[in-house]
Structures are given as C-alpha cells and as structure tokens.
Amino acid sequence: MVFISVGFLFGNWATLIPYIKQKFDLNDAQLGLLLLSFPIGATVMNPFSTFFINRFGMLNTTVIGLILLATTFVCPVGASWLVLTSVSLIIVGMCLSVTNVAMNTCVTSLEHQYSINIMSTCHGMFSAGLMFGSIAASILRGMKIEPVLQMTVIAVVITAMVLLLRPIILGIHEEKITEEESGQAKFILPKGALLLMILISLCTNVTEGTMADWTAVYMRDIVQTDDYFIGWGLAGYSMFMSLGRFVGDALIPRFGGNAVLRTGGIIAALGITLAIIFPYTITAILGFTLVGAGVSCGAPILYGSAARVPGMAKGAGLATMNTFSMGGFLAGPVLIGFISKSINLPFAFSIVAVLALVWAFLVNRVKLY
C-alpha cells in the first residue's frame, strides 16, 4: 500500500507538469530548473533520514512520512507564485526522501522476519502506482477537474487509508539502523568495475528522470494529443517498468545481468526512436512503453552488483552508486530542458536514446552480478 501510494502521488504530479508549465508560461529551460527543486529537497534531506528512523522508529516514520508526502503534494499544484511552487517541491522532495528510506527499511525487516524476497516486488508496486496515478490524472484532466481539488482528494484518501492500516504497519518487527551500519555506507572514489557500473547507472537514471518529468510534456507539446491521453505515455512506461521488475528476479538469474541490461538498452533506444520518428498518440505510447521495459531491470542489477564489488567494505559501493545515481536523476531533466529550449524536445530525447546505446555498449566491459 505504501509503495503504490507513493507511486500514485508521483504519477499524478508528473502528469500535471504540463499544467504547471502552462500556468506560469514557462519555456523548457525554465521548467527544467523548476523541476530541479524536487531532487534538491530529496538530496538535502537524505543524510538526515537515518536520524528520523532511529528517533521515531521506521514504522512511525513511514506512516507520518506518507501522510506528510500526500499533504505537501497539494502545495506545488495550488501555489499561485512560481517561487512558492519551487519551495513546495523542495519540501515534497524532503518528505519523499525520509519516507523512501523508512519504507525500504520496513521491507528489509519483513524480508528478514519471514525469510522472503519482496524488495523487487515492492518497487514494482511503486511503478504500478505510477501507472495508475498517471492514468487517473489524465482522465481527471480530460474531465476538466481542477488540479488542486484532484490532489486534495487524493491526499485525503491516502491519509485515511494510512490511518486505517496503521495497526497492521505497526505490527511489523521494528528494526533500527545502527551507527555501525550507518558508518559502513560511506562515499568512496569510484574506480575500476564500480566506475563502469556508475557510468551505466548515470545513463539509466538520466533516462528514468527524463521519462518521469518530460513524457507528459512531450505528449502535449509534440504529439499534441487530447487531454485524456497526456498521461498515457507515462502510464505505458510505468506499466512495463513494473512488469519488468516483477519478472526481473526470474530473468536475471537465467540470462545474467549483462545480457538483460544490454538488451534493455537496445529496447529503450528503439522505444525513444519510435516516439521521435512517429510523434502520434499510439506510436508515442508504444515507444515510451518500450523504454519502461528496457530500463526496468537497471536499478536491481546495478545496485545489487555495486553492493557486491569484490574488495570493498559492506555498503561502500552501494552508497557511492546511490550518490551518483541521484545526480543523474537530478541533472537529467534539467539538461533536457536546456537542450529542448536551444533546439527542440525531440532532439533532446534523441540524446537519451544515444545514452541507452552507450549503456548497452558499456555493459560488455564489466561483470554484473
């Protein structure tokens, strides 16, 4: 429920980005800078997430964090000034950072408690929520429902659902992050195999960040589709990213991380190319769907491989990978905005297609676990 709710909130927001762009009459470069506010908030708060979990517990932090996240998501949509929208996105990013660490800690605790593997499935549920959120937002936009009302109702529903399921959530075995565990996850200067993994991760994260923030804009400005279909490109992307993660635990052991990620890069490049060459509603949705399938297993493979790089302290490779990955996800949408402003959005998307081919090439030069 928590993972789906977070995805649902983000899917609604991402589909409303064209509304924000039109509301403040922003060009693509200005929109890219505005969208930078969200990951800035998340990056600033990330070092403090462990403090909140140790102070209030992972369960209460998850419950309170999700309620705050749902509530604050109303602010950037309802803000009447551009500066307030930016500040609101920073606050949303801060809430997301704390909630993200807390809910993933809960999943880890459940895996230990019941000797099960559900992390990939939970992240697949986030992608499913992203899909449902973008579809719901598209339908509501087509019905001319005010975005502020839309996000307010969603916040109320999610808050009520969290409070209803709170006793079940609090029944999870509490697990705190110790100082020793926190100390293990320190940034190191990447080199060798880890450096190649990080370069691949930058390509996959730029792709993910671009799809999340610019797909709806592409559907409206380039495809010029009806309001009902603005969010369907993101929905198709999210659906196949979700499906890819659900089957990833079976595909990766069978074919190997290198083969799966190499094939994914080629599929993602083909999907973006399809959306660029044939900018029509059906072909664009199909293209973005292929991108979702191609990038879906990137995070599970790369994060798992970084955590198992030989000769490194436990958590060091993963912490370093996470730092650079956040940078790619943060910088990607901004760069797309500036390239789109200087040339056009299809050309900016073609850069992402090239990056997909780059990661498919680099995969041949490193062993992924």
Q: Give the integer Cα–Cα distance in Å for 63 and 68.
A: 9
CA dihedral 346, 351, 356, 359 (to 10 degrees): -170
Predicted local distance difference test score (pLDDT) of residue 307: 64
Q: What is the DSSP string of 212-273?
A: HHHHHHHHHHTS---GGGTTHHHHHHHHHHHHHHHHHHHHHHHH-HHHHHHHHHHHHHHHHH
> How many structural domains compose the chain?
2
310 shares its domain with 282: yes
pLDDT digit string, tens, across residues 50-96: 788 888 888 999 999 999 999 999 999 999 999 999 999 999 999 99
Contact status, residue 85 vs residue 23, Cβ threshold 8 Å: no
Q: Which pLDDT value is given to residue 57?
A: 86
119 with 35, same domain? yes
**pLDDT at site 314:** 47
Domain boundary among 177, 203, 232: 177
Q: Are residues 126 and 171 in the same domain?
A: yes
Based on the fold, state whether residues 80 and 197 are members of the same structural domain. no
Same domain (yes/no): 69, 103: yes
- CATH number for 195: 1.20.1250.20
End-to-end CA distance of the chain: 30
What is the per-residue pLDDT for 5? 96
pTM of the model: 0.80
- 269 backbone dihedrals φ, ψ, rounded to 5°: -65, -40
Q: Do 17 and 81 fall into the same domain?
A: yes
Predicted pLDDT at 360: 95
Model pLDDT, residue 90: 95
- What does pLDDT average to in each consecutive run of 10 residues of the chain (369 residues)? 94 92 93 88 80 86 95 95 96 90 80 78 87 91 92 96 89 62 54 87 92 93 92 93 86 88 96 97 97 91 75 60 72 89 95 96 88
Identity of residue 248? G
Residues 109 and 195 in one domain: no
Q: Tell me the torsion sign for CA atoms 185, 190, 193, 195.
A: positive
Give, as one character, the DSSP assignment of residue 178.
Answer: P
Interacting residues of 148 by C-beta distance below 8 A, sequence separation 6+: 74, 77, 78
327 and 252 both lie in a single domain: yes
Q: Which domain holds residue 210?
A: 184-369
Q: How far is CA 149 from the centre of its chain?
A: 24
Contact between residue 210 and residue 106 where contact means Cβ atoms under 8 Å apart: no
Looking at residue 322, its pLDDT comes to: 66
User: Does one domain contain both 168 and 191?
Assistant: no
